[in-house]
Amino acid sequence: MSRKLNRWGLVALLLALVVTFGCGGGEDPAAAQTANQDAAWSELQAQQAELEAKRQELRDLRDAAAQQGEEPAAPAEGEAPATAAADPEAEIARLESEVQQESEEFYQDLVEFINAAGLVEGEEPTGAVAEAIRMKSSEDMQVAQEYIDRGGNYRQAITIYETALSVDPNNAELQQALAEAEANRYMSEERFAAAKEDMTEAEVRAVLGAPFHANVRPFPEQNVVAWFYPVDETGSAAAVWFRQRDGGMKVYKTNFREVVKEGPTVVGEAPEST
């Protein structure tokens, strides 16, 4: 993964949120409390807008970097040819760092705002607090999807979804995201069939998803790399095999039954070179 996903530690704050749904109310006058809450909520909304703008900038940079290898479009008459960024990778890394830090700060501010509301267990949150809980759920989904997209870590993503649903149980988007993660956690034969010979790593990632980092296994002796995808809870796995071809890593073999529990194939056993 190109960057650390440190925000998982912040998800633990959700557990504190769940257990602190105790008796609410305070001694401050209601008007003062409402004014403070309104000001804090406005600040959170502005913070979210700024963060989303930066996330979009990062997405645009990543898309541009992914298309660098394609033939650039000819400039219109009278236009100067487009010039590439001096160091797009450095710019992406800088933005990733900023987005990560600002996301962590925003998430923590959201949790603190919700905790400060003094929610009472069993009572339905309303107003800005209800919106903040829904906003936090959206952040949880982004974190979970990042674990899936960039590291194939469905187990971590499922835990995030389940924890978020303990606070926002009626969120249909969260429920759907959890269902999809559970459905895709193990590779199906039908889904695996989309991986074809001569595909690049990026193309395989697009159709099968990213493999979990521990399931990417290089075999230097044969000069090949295998991506293993679990097919069930027993440890059986499908595999996509890559080798250098035409200037890049390309698929030369796929096998849905590469690793079969109790079977003759050993996890990580490389095929004979041809």
In angstroms, what CA-CA distances link 251 with 67, 193, 201, 210, 217? 21, 13, 8, 15, 14
Burial of 49-82, coded b for 16+ CB within 10 Å and e otherwise, reads eebeeeeeebeebeeeeeeeeeeeeeeeeeeeee
pLDDT at position 122, please?
76
The H-or-E segment that residue 240 falls in is: strand 237-245
In this structure, are 175 and 232 located in the same domain? Answer: no
87 pLDDT above the threshold of 60: yes
Please list, in sequence order, all residues whose beta carbon lies within 8 angstroms of the beta carbon of residue 189, skipping any fewer than 6 positions away: 231, 238, 256
In this structure, are 148 and 236 located in the same domain? Answer: no
In angstroms, what CA-CA distances link 11 with 96, 139, 141, 148, 171? 20, 10, 11, 16, 17
In this structure, are 119 and 47 located in the same domain? Answer: yes
15 pLDDT above the threshold of 60: no
Q: What share of the chain is helix, strand, coil (3-state, %, to 5)?
A: 55, 10, 35
CATH of residue 209's domain is 3.30.1450
In this structure, are 101 and 36 located in the same domain? Answer: yes
Provide the residue count of the chain.
274
In this structure, are 193 and 60 located in the same domain? Answer: no
In a domain, 272, yes or no: no
Q: Name the domain count of the chain.
A: 2
In this structure, are 131 and 176 located in the same domain? Answer: yes
Domain that holds residue 225: 189-259
In this structure, are 166 and 72 located in the same domain? Answer: yes
Query: 162, 184, 206: which is the final residue of a domain?
Result: 184
In a domain, 124, yes or no: yes
Q: Read off the pLDDT band of 71 (50, 70, 90).
A: very low
How far is it, in rounded angstroms, from Cα 17 to Cα 260? Answer: 43
pLDDT, tens only, 165-224: 999 999 999 999 999 999 999 999 999 999 999 999 999 999 999 999 999 999 999 999
In a domain, 127, yes or no: yes
How far is it, in rounded angstroms, from Cα 157 to Cα 103? Answer: 17
In this structure, are 120 and 249 located in the same domain? Answer: no
Instruction: Please report, rounded to a whole number, the percentage of residues in the chain having pLDDT higher than 70.
Output: 78
Using CA atoms of 99, 203, 185, 62 in order, give the dihedral in degrees to the nearest 10. Answer: 10
Q: What is the mean pLDDT of residues 104-122?
A: 89
226 pLDDT above the threshold of 70: yes
In a domain, 268, yes or no: no
